[in-house]
Structure 1
Amino acid sequence: MTRLIIAVLALIAACSPAPPAPAEPPPPGSQTATFAGGCFWSSEKAFEHVRGVSSVVSGFAGGHVANPTYAQVVRGGTGHREAIQVTFDPRVVSYRALVDRFWRTIDPTDPDGVFCDQGPSYRTAVFATAEQRPVAEASRAAAQRALGREFVTPVLASARFWPAGPEHQDYAERNPARYEAYRIGCRRTPALQRVWGDAAVN
């Protein structure tokens, strides 16, 4: 019995996703961009392999409760949106390029969320500093012209970003089968392509 228990525990350990690696210090001169793009698992996946991006963290922004938990945000009443904070090297990738990419990861005409993820915590937004705001607004205007439809996703003033728990970080990469089941069940890819066609970023 002891050998069987040991074998089962070893199998569970082997199949369990590893926790995300500790964050490394950002390269000197790095900047951050904050986007609320519906499900933060999908937003994180859309940015984490962009050249010049050193890290993408899932979390919450725009609310009025300090250090909220995922359960609090999902339950409602905190005012937060699921968001990501992208740390990038502006010498390699510009803030404008990141905002341009963001629009094509969402349906910016939906006021209530993104595809199957609907509700206050899934509403989309760009959170921009005073310096970033003109760039974000120009990107929004250009993307709106390209799509030919009115955007409802706003550019908002920068807000405090709170990281989510470690179980939500690098989710798609650590849990590929579960993420794929979510993506297919949500019909995310065809829905995104209906909005953006070949320009969609999934």
Structure 2
Amino acid sequence: MNRLFALILILITGQVLAQEPQSQNIRTAIFAGGCFWCMEPPFDQLDGVLETTSGYSGGHVKNPTYDQVSAGGTGHAEVVQVKYDADKVSYAQLLDVFWRNVDPLDAGGQFCDRGDQYRSAIFYGSPEEKRLAEASKQQVAAKLGKPIVTEVQPAATFYPAEQYHQNYYQRNPVRYKYYRYRCGRDQRLEEVWGSAPAH
């Protein structure tokens, strides 16, 4: 708020307006779950998530393009970077949303998108995140009763994707819904996890 404007308000009302405290506990997390368009919405719906950014990580090519990554061979996966307020939402909650939105049994990609660039993975940024990720992976294995192929690996350089990929589901809702339906994502998620909403 403009300082002069605040002083005028104080003079007029005789009250000091309380300013909203700013959280100092802002963190980021990186998840790969196939098409990054489909990984933004479930995290965006969480209270405490400030923004999601589609991008690429885990490979060896610097500043990769979408064409390079989607063609394979860069080592990168399509990922979503989640910026969140850890005072409002925990890393464990982010992990719950991640698992519910991927097929952790598929080693060849995710849904209709095939290849290593569409693998599922958790990129941890600290020993605590690694511990939580590994523990959640064990819980998922116990729940599903099958081997979990989702990778848990150290965070690597994150490269934001081209602007036209960001918030695609909001800017192109019809195309997004058509793609998601044709890809069979929700049908497979229901097969794996049951009919509970995928956040």
TM-score by length of 2: 0.85
Give the unaligned 5+ runs of structure 1: 1-25
Q: Aligned equivalents of 2:157 and 2:23: distance in 1?
A: 21
Q: Given the alignment of the two structures, is residue 186 of structure 1 paired with residue 198 of structure 2, yes or no?
A: no
What is the CA distance between 1:133 and its match in structure 2? Answer: 0.3
Q: Does 1:161 align with 2:158?
A: yes
Tell me if the contact between 2:23 and 2:87 (Cα under 8 Å) persists in the aligned partners.
Answer: no
CA contact (8 A) 1:100 1:143 kept: no
Supply the AA of the counterpart residue of 2:188: A
- The AA in structure 2 aligned to 1:183 is R
After superposing on structure 2, the runs of 4+ consecutive aligned residues of structure 1 that deviate more than 6 Å are none
Native 8 Å contact 2:124 2:130 kept in 1: yes
Give the 5 Å matches for 1:1-202. Answer: 28-131=24-127, 132-199=129-196, 201=198
How far residue 88 of structure 1 moved from its aligned partner, in angstroms, is: 0.7
Contact 1:44 1:56 in 2 (8 A): yes
Is the 1:36–1:124 Cα contact (8 Å) retained in structure 2? yes
RMSD, aligned α-carbons: 1.4
Give the letter aligned to residue 57 of structure 1.
Answer: T
How many pairs were matched up? 177
TM-score by length of 1: 0.84
Name which one, 1 or 2, has greater alpha-carbon Rg. 2
Deviations 1:57-99 (A, max 9, x none): 0000101111111011112221100000001111111001101
Q: Which runs of 5+ in 2 are unaligned?
A: 1-21
